[in-house]
Amino acid sequence: MRSHQPLYFGINISPARRSSKNRGCIHPASGDLISELTSSGNITVLTPASQNYANASTAFNLRFTLNPAAVTFPTTPQQISTILSLTTKYNHQAVARSGGHSYIANGLGGKDGVVVVDMSNFRAVTVDPETNVASIGVGNRLGDVALALNTYGRALPHGTCPYVGLGGHSGHGGYGFTSRKWGLTLDTIVAIDVVLANGAILNGVSNSKFPDLFWALRGSSSSFGIVTTIHTNTFAAPPSTTVFSYRWDLNISEAVSATMAYQSYVVSPDFPQEMGSEIVLRAGSTQGRVSFRLTGGWYAPPEQYDAVIQPYLTQLPSPQTATVHNETYIGSVEFFGGLGRLNTTGIPDAHDTFYAKSLMIPESVPFSNESLTAFYTYLANDAFTANTNWFAEIELYGGTNSAINNVPFDATAFGHRDTMFTMQFYTSAIGGVPPFPVEGFGLLDDMVATIVDNNPRGREYGAYANYIDNRLEDWQLKYYASHYPKLRNIKRKYDPHDTFDFPLSIQE
């Protein structure tokens, strides 16, 4: 219990917390809130009566239909300060939306009645020529960030989808094929500009300035404030990237052997950081088989690639298809993005109707033959007849000398620095349009269970917050591990009224 009330920029951060009753719901004060928002200067505010509200309030995942109290489009930190000061004044929730790809629509608050602070106007990207530190507005999407940094000959580790917003991606992780070499996106951050719930504008939050907040913002940023700009270390874009994709149609025992061989391959003493890859699994050609694809990038001289990949390929049958070619670095980013372009400006985003889960496999408890046999038996039979489209990914986080796992556990709020693989399980309604079949939930639940129930008992498996799952039990431990109690304490300090309250946010 604190005995004082800290002051930041002359604005009091009170320890008092409001009741959880009716959080996020539209209440009688909402009318006054909207009136003040719409009369507070040059802030664009869309309400349910506005012509463009329906488009602005549509979730990426059409499994969710939400009705925000307002969608605001600030252009300056000062305008964000005004918005948050008013939401705090009226005891109301607010949430930041960067790219809007939250799997459970948390960019719209995850529930009705929230004030959305859309960050799409915060798109500046600059690079300091002396330090190579980039200052990046969180309204950027990953494709546009990659293009902007490339003009400076620089790069960041990040995911492949060009439309993912930088704000949520960097605030909760940020995995990509270069992460074994460069770390997660959040590991590159050296300072953050953020607006707190009470309107305080804090610039340059870092290890030396509000270090507790800086720690929390790198792993659970959306629960603590609205980030406007991240300042990140960048890396020289590699002179070339070898892009590869191999696909097999395997029976169950072959798929088990291929995955066990992959697990052994990545922990060999000479396995290089420059190799980034994942296994993508889909329904096979017939029941009893699985489509097994190895894809990724080699970020070192192309003439070295064959010697690195052959020790794995020689343990598998000949692939049905194989694609290996050299690209410029930015060409590889475009290739992995799958759209034939990286620019998202002015081009509408797509939508899907889906459910996703994740599972982080610790280095200390890797896959067993038993767990993989159960998993592939399920994929090849039960999942083969599913009434949804699905895929599963086995993303390589660990292995020999991984930059992700080389970061000390307590350096950031990210909860899993001992991960070998992160698995993503994803299933969509046919055609990507509603309704989502209820059977899709059980499909993924059972996929996860085949792994967990057949690996050693008593071990804790994590989950990845950027693949957020609103049905996940014990999510506090699975997303944040032992960091969660510390995050709760920091939440009480910087957001005492729980302004940033949404499904699976840090709670009191």
Which residues are identified as catalytic?
A: 467
Cβ pair 375, 451 in contact under 8 A: yes
How far is it, in rounded angstroms, from Cα 423 to Cα 280?
10
DSSP H stretches of helix in 273-325: 305-313
Do β-strands 241-251 and 354-362 pair in parallel, antiparallel, or remain unpaired? Answer: unpaired
How far is it, in rounded angstroms, from Cα 164 to Cα 349?
10
DSSP H stretches of helix in 118-251: 142-150, 166-172, 179-182, 211-220
How far is it, in rounded angstroms, from Cα 120 to Cα 135?
16
Closest CA to 390 of 425, 437, 436: 425
What is the three-class DSSP state of 406?
Answer: coil
Residue that is written with structure tokens 């609205």 in the block: 226
How far is it, in rounded angstroms, from Cα 400 to Cα 267?
5
Closest CA to 87 of 488, 495, 492: 495
What is the three-class DSSP state of 392?
Answer: strand
The 10 Å Cβ neighbour count of residue 261 is 16
The 10 Å Cβ neighbour count of residue 130 is 6
Instruction: Write the CB contacts of 356 (distance below 8 Å, at least 6 apart in sequence).
Output: 103, 424, 425, 426, 427, 444, 467, 469
How far is it, in rounded angstroms, from Cα 207 to Cα 213?
9
How far is it, in rounded angstroms, from Cα 473 to Cα 458?
16
Task: Indicate if the alpha-carbon torsion angle 147, 279, 465, 116 is positive or negative.
Answer: positive
Tell me phi and psi for residue 417, to 5 degrees. -100, 15
What is the three-class DSSP state of 480?
Answer: helix
Q: First-to-last CA distance in the chain?
A: 13
Q: Which stretches of 86-129 are assigned E, i.e. beta strand?
A: 94-97, 115-118, 125-127
The 10 Å Cβ neighbour count of residue 167 is 28
Closest CA to 115 of 144, 140, 89, 136: 89
Task: Indicate if the alpha-carbon torsion angle 452, 398, 301, 184 is positive or negative.
Answer: positive
Cβ pair 441, 355 in contact under 8 A: yes
